[in-house]
Chain A
Amino acid sequence: MIDILDGNACAAWGARRAKVQCVPVFPITPTTEIIETIAAWKADGKFPGEFVVLESEHSAASACLGASMTGARTFSATSSQGLLLMHEMLPIISGCRTPMVLTTVSRCLSAPIGLWPDHNDTLAMRDAGWIMLICETNQEVLDSVIMAYRISENPKILLPVIVNMDGFVHSYTRTEVDVPEQKLVDKFLSHPELEVRLDVKKPMTLGIPAMGLDYMRYRQQLHKAMLDSFDVVDNVQKAWAKVTGRKYEFLDEYKTKDAKAVIVMIGANSTIARSAVDKMRKKGKKVGLLRIRLFRPFPEKQLRKALEKIDNIAVIDQNICPGMGGILYPEVKMALSGCKNVVCNYIQGLGGNFVSEDDYVDILNDVLKAKADDRKWQM
C-alpha cells in the first residue's frame, strides 16, 4: 500500500503492523501525532491493543516495563524532555531485559526551550543499554519499528530498542511510503513467548536486587547481549530486504568507495548532505557520505573498515556535549584510533537551525583543505 505519510504516522503504522498489544504513552510535541493516530485507530476499532495515556513520561516508561514483563508487545513514543524524564526507567527496562520498542522523535533540550530537532535528547540515552537505530527517511522509520520487534524479542537478545527520527523534519513531513501488507509482516514477525515473565502460573521474582559480583555479572550479560545483537540486527535487516526489497545496513555508505573526503553523520539531514555530495561530484570532487544507522551497539569495526582509507573526514554533530564537543566525534575517532586520517568535527543545526545543501558543500570544501584534526562550528 503506497501512501503519503509523515514520520509520526509511519511509526504508528509500524506499531499497528507489528500488532502491538500495549501502548502506554504521554503526549509531547513533536511525538503527539503518533499517539493521536493510535488513539483514533483505537476509537475506530482498528487497533485491538490496549492504549492508555498516563500521567507522565516516567509513568509511561514504568508502564512499559510492567506491560512488557507480562509478555505483551509494547510500544511507546516520546521526545526531548520527556525522554529525559524517562531516563531513570530506561536502564531498568534494559537491565530487566524486557523487549519493547520506543520511538524517540528528536527535539532539542531545554533551556532555552525549543521545539526543533537536534540529537541531544536521544544521544543522551546512549549508555542506557538500549539498541539504537537512527533513521533518515519516513520509510526507514516504519521498517525499523517492525524490524526492531524481531531484534528485541530474539531470545538471545531481549533488549529494548529505540527507533529515532528527527522532530518536524521527519515527524511532520509527508513523503511517499510503502506500508507493507499485514500478511507480509505477520510472516516476517512472530511473537516468541518470553521465558522470564510475570505469570501467576509460573511465579518468578523479577527486578530482583543483586549485590557485588552478581550485579557485575548481570551488567556483563547486558553488554554481551548488546554485542551479540550485531549478528541479529544484520540477519533481521537481510530478512527484511528479502521480503520487501528494502535493504538496510549498520552504516549507510553513499559514494564513499573512491572518496577523498567523507561526511559522517546521523539523522534526517543526511538527505540534504547526500544532494550536496552529488553536487560536489558533478564538479569532479571525490566526496561521499556515511550515515551511522545503528548507533548502539556501536559498529566500531565496520566503521573503521569503511573509513580507514579516507583522508579527510568531517564528523557532523547536530548535538553538543558542553565542555567536550560533539558526541559522535569521539566515537568516530575511537573507531579510527591509530589511523592517519584527518578527522574534523562540525557542530551544526542545534535546535533545528536550518541547514542547506550549500552548508554541506562548505563543510566538504573546508574538510578537503584540512591538514589536521579540528573542532568547528557552523552557525
Chain B
Amino acid sequence: MADVDFNIKEEMKKPHLLTGGTFACAGCNPVLGIRLTLIALGRNVIMVNSSGCMTLTATWPFTPYRIPWVHGAIENGGSVAAGILMGLKALKKDKDTHVVVYAGDGATYDIGLQSLSGMIHRREKIIYICYNNCQFANTGHQCTSATEKYARTTTTPPPIGNPLPRKNMAKMMAMGGADYCATACVSFPFDFIRKLRKAAKVEGSVFIDLLSPCEPGWLVKPHETIKSGKLMVESGMWPLYEIEKKKITINHKPEMIPVKEALKIQGRFKHLTEEQIGEIQETVIKEWERITNGRFWEAEEY
C-alpha cells in the first residue's frame, strides 16, 4: 500500500494508549478497533463512547485509556461529541484535537441515528466510528438494522433468522453530507489506519463503518475473528470503499470467494439452507456490480 503514511516500526516504539486488562472477551475485535484508532490518531484524541460493550472496557477504578474518554448514553454519541467540540472551540483548544466517537452499530444504525445525522449535517469536525458487530452485543446479541439477512440473533432465532436486509449506513451518511465516508474492517488494519489518518485531515464530519467480528455473537472461535472478517471482505459481503464528495473509491478488490465459505465459519449462519445461501450470493454479486458499474447511488432493491 503505497499511500500508507504509516511506519509500523515507528509506531511499535510508542507506549500503548489503550492498555490490556479490560473486560472485553478474548479476541474482541471492537477493542482492537479502539487500539488501531489510537495508533492511527495518537494522543490528541478525546473519545466519546456510546453505551455498549466498549463502555465496560473501563470500570471504576480501572481505566485502560491513556487519552480522555467519556461515556454519555447510548443514543447521543454524535451530540456529546458536538458538545465537546463546542467546548473546545470556546476554550480555543480545538486545534489538533480530534474528537472521536466510538459507537456500536445499534447505537449508530438504530437509536443514535438522530444525533449522528445532526452531527453530519452540521459538518462538525468529528470522526464517528461505528464498530459494527452486526448486533446489540452487550445485551446478549439482539438484532439491529445492521444485522445481515438470515443471521441468527437472540431476537431472530432460527429457522428463519433475521428477515430483513441491513441498512447501508455509509451511503446514507454520504448522502446526508458527510465530508468523508468509508467502510473498513478490523481484519484490514492498514486500510483502516490509512482511512483514519486521511479522516484526521478532513475539515468536516467523518463517518467510518468498521466491521468488527464479535466472537460470542458471530459464534466464531476467538482466534478466528480476524479470519471471519477477512472472509466477509473477500467474499464481497463487506466491500471496502471510501466516499469523498460523492465519489466512491474501492480500496480493496475482493477475491469474490463464494459466500458459503464466509458463512461456514460463523455459527450464526449455521441454520441457512442452500436456497438462502444462494439468495445471499446473488445479492452480493448484484451489489458488487452496482458499486463497480457506477450505479452505487441508485436506489436499492429490496
Chain A residues proximal to chain B, CB less than 8 Å: 21-22, 24, 49-50, 52, 54-56, 58-60, 62-72, 74, 88-89, 92, 198-200, 202-211, 214
Known: A22-B83, A54-B82, A205-B63. A200 touches B46 (CB 8 A): yes
* CB < 8 Å neighbour of A24 from B72, B82, B97: B82
A62 CB contact (under 8 Å) in B49, B58, B83, B91? B83
- CB of B164 within 8 Å of the partner chain: no
From known contacts A52-B122, A66-B82, infer whether A22 and B63 are also in contact, taking CB-CB under 8 Å. Answer: no
B73, CB-defined interface residue at 8 Å: yes
B250 on the interface (CB 8 Å rule)? no
Question: Using a Cβ–Cβ cut-off of 8 Å, how many residues does chain B contribute to the interface with A?
Answer: 46
- The listed residue with most A CB atoms (<10 A of its CB), out of B43, B75, B88, B115, is B88
Q: Would you call A67 and B87 a contact (CB within 8 A)? A: yes
A210 to chain B: closest CB distance in Å? 4
Chain A residues, Cβ within 8 Å of B201: none
**Known contacts being A50-B89, A198-B68, is A65 close to B115, with CB within 8 Å?**
no
Q: Please indicate the chain A residues that have their CB under 8 angstroms from the CB of B59 in the complex.
A: 208-211
Contact indicator B44/A50 (Cβ below 8 Å): no
Taking a contact as CB atoms under 8 Å apart, the answer to whether A72 and B91 are in contact is yes
A205 to B55, CA, bound (A): 11
Q: Do B58 and A54 have beta carbons less than 8 Å apart?
A: no
- With A66-B86, A67-B87, A200-B46 known as contacts, the answer to whether A209 contacts B55 (CB < 8 A) is yes
Whether B60 sits at the interface, judged by CB under 8 Å, is yes
A74 to B88, CA, bound (A): 12
A70: nearest chain-B partner, CB-CB = B87
A42 to chain B, nearest CB (A): 12
Q: List 23 A-B contacts (CB under 8 A).
A: A22-B86, A22-B87, A55-B121, A59-B79, A60-B79, A62-B83, A65-B80, A66-B48, A66-B86, A67-B83, A67-B90, A69-B70, A69-B87, A70-B87, A72-B91, A198-B68, A200-B67, A205-B69, A207-B70, A208-B58, A208-B71, A209-B55, A209-B60
CB pair B73 A89 closer than 8 Å = yes
Mask, B37-77, CB within 8 Å of A = 1, is 00000011110110000011011110101111111110110
- The residues of A that contact B79 with a CB separation of less than 8 Å are 24, 54-55, 58-60, 62-63, 66
Pick the contact of B97: A64, A67, A200, A205 (CB < 8 A).
A200
For window 87-110 of B, CB contacts with A under 8 Å fall at 87-91, 93, 97
Q: Which chain B residues lie closer than 8 Å to A198 at the CB level?
A: 46, 68, 70, 84, 87
Instruction: Report whether B80 and A21 are in contact in the complex, using a CB–CB cutoff of 8 Å.
Output: no
Q: How far is the CA of A214 from the CA of B89 in the complex (A)?
A: 34
Residues of B within 8 A of A49 (CB): 90
- 3 closest A-B pairs (Cβ-Cβ)? A66-B83, A70-B87, A63-B83
Tell me which residues across on chain A come within 8 A of B71, comparing CB atoms: 206-209
Contact A204/B68 with A21-B91, A62-B80, A209-B59 known, Cβ cut-off 8 Å: yes
B226 in contact (CB, < 8 A): no
Cross-interface CB contact of B72 among A62, A70, A202, cutoff 8 Å? A62
Verify if B118 is at the interface (C-beta below 8 Å from A). yes
Bound complex: CA of A46 vs CA of B85, how far in Å? Answer: 22
Contact B86 A50 (CB under 8 A): yes
Contact B70 A55 (CB under 8 A): no
Contacts of B83 in A (CB 8 A): 22, 24, 62-69, 74
